[in-house]
Amino acid sequence: MPQPSYTYGVARVRVLETKLLGRDRIERMADAPSAEDVLKILAETSYAPLVAEIGSPHDYEEILIREMKRVRDFIGEISPDSDIMSLFFLKYDFHNLKVLLKNMYLSNENDDLALSEMGAIPIEVLKAGLEDEGHKAMPWFMADAVRQIEDMFVIKIDPQKIDTVLDRAMYDYIFSVCRKTRNPFATQYFRKQVDLINLRSLLRAKRLGENFDFLKDLLIPYGDLDISYFADAIEQAYENIISTLEYTPYGKLAAEGIQDFLRNGNLTAFEKMMDDYLMEYVRSVKHNPFGIEAIVGYLLGKENEIKLIRIIMVGKLNNMPAEKIRERLRDVYV
């Protein structure tokens, strides 16, 4: 049952934070000779009961799914404000809706494998919502977006529009809830997230040689970097973009991330820095005992931990050298 105040939830996550995997253990896992040895290290932690229940390292995903379901249920029990906390799970629901729509329009049956069980909306509800007339079985903000996509696809099926329309719909809803609840932490967190997503879209558009007409369809409003900034930046050299961001909160990330992008031609490092930046922001404000910050921090820390374990296990199962695995690892929360 949800609790009446945050103090109880904060006290609970303070205890659980001590069980998150630290940098030393992640390093040991990255250096382990094999996937089997990674699981032996995990068996020394709170993951031990889950490790004991799988028969092969190839079944590692079952451990991660079950652990994240536990975290989701735990956070639902300790959070007094479900409207705000649900915003941090929306990405899973919208991911599932994207997969189902692409499956519907592109007949890509294998995409069902990519469905996430971490969403707050059951997958069967989303499927039923797509099938019923008017899509009344799904939340209104999703139904509106699906109808918009249907209207677009009467003329031409464009898979990219599924992503752009649903991304915009998700953030429209997120910021409508932020305005209603006036939660300063959630508002600032998602504003920063939008800025980083828009910067990534800018780099992608420039890599493709596109102009602002292309970029503006990808941009999400609500960030601290307004749309006019991107209209100018798309015409600028990369060095100038770095200079314009130098005295913003994203100066260091932009300098290092864009330089890596220019060297390697991909956004892998930039996306890693995005994750690290947001986690560091949450880490810097998590000590408020009367707010949502610590609970969100634990969720993000756990999501990051799961991501690190997945990166290491995939690398080990594919015989990737330890140094290559390390290059992909994010920071840890604790």
Separation CA 111–CA 166 (nearest Å) = 17
330 and 278 in a common domain: no
177 and 302 in a common domain: yes
Quick check: 177 pLDDT over 90?
yes
220 and 204 in a common domain: yes
User: In one letter, which amino acid is 334?
Assistant: V
Percentage of the chain lying above the pLDDT 70 cut = 96
296 and 326 in a common domain: no
pLDDT of residue 4: 65
Cβ pair 54, 46 in contact under 8 A: no
33 and 112 in a common domain: no
34 and 141 in a common domain: no
The set of residues, in sequence order, having a beta carbon less than 8 Å from that of 154 and lying 6+ positions away, is none
pLDDT of residue 106: 81
Separation CA 20–CA 177 (nearest Å) = 30
Higher-scoring residue by pLDDT: 105, 33: 33
The set of residues, in sequence order, having a beta carbon less than 8 Å from that of 146 and lying 6+ positions away, is 97, 101, 129, 130, 135, 138
Quick check: 5 pLDDT over 50?
yes
CB atoms < 10 A from the CB of 150, how many?
12
Closest CA to 298 of 104, 105, 85: 85
Q: How confident is the model at residue 112 (pLDDT cuts 50, 70, 90)?
A: very low
Residues spanned by the domain of 58: 1-81+311-334
Q: How confident is the model at residue 2 (pLDDT cuts 50, 70, 90)?
A: low
Summary mean pLDDT of the chain: 90
237 and 104 in a common domain: yes
Cβ pair 189, 278 in contact under 8 A: yes
180 and 77 in a common domain: no
Interval 275-325: pLDDT, tens: 889 989 998 988 888 889 999 999 999 999 999 999 999 999 999 998 888
Q: What is the pTM of this model?
A: 0.90
pLDDT of residue 44: 93
- Average pLDDT on 15-37 reads 91
pLDDT of residue 228: 94
Interval 186-230: pLDDT, tens: 999 999 999 999 999 999 999 999 999 999 999 999 999 999 999
Q: How confident is the model at residue 34 (pLDDT cuts 50, 70, 90)?
A: very high
87 and 74 in a common domain: no
185 and 36 in a common domain: no
The DSSP symbol for 249 reads: T
User: In one letter, which amino acid is 158?
Assistant: D
Interval 149-165: pLDDT, tens: 999 888 887 888 899 99
27 and 134 in a common domain: no
Closest CA to 9 of 249, 293, 252: 293
Interval 41-93: pLDDT, tens: 999 999 999 999 998 999 999 999 999 999 999 998 888 888 899 999 999 99
100 and 66 in a common domain: no
Separation CA 87–CA 89 (nearest Å) = 5
Rounded CA Rg of the chain = 21
The CA-atom distances, in angstroms, between 212 and each of 178, 200, 204 are: 29, 14, 12
Closest CA to 94 of 147, 132, 141, 131: 141
CATH number, domain with residue 53: 1.10.132
Quick check: 334 pLDDT over 90?
no
Closest CA to 334 of 279, 274, 277: 279
Cβ pair 105, 153 in contact under 8 A: yes
pLDDT of residue 310: 93
Tally of domains in the chain: 2
Closest CA to 125 of 161, 145, 105, 96: 96
Separation CA 329–CA 325 (nearest Å) = 7
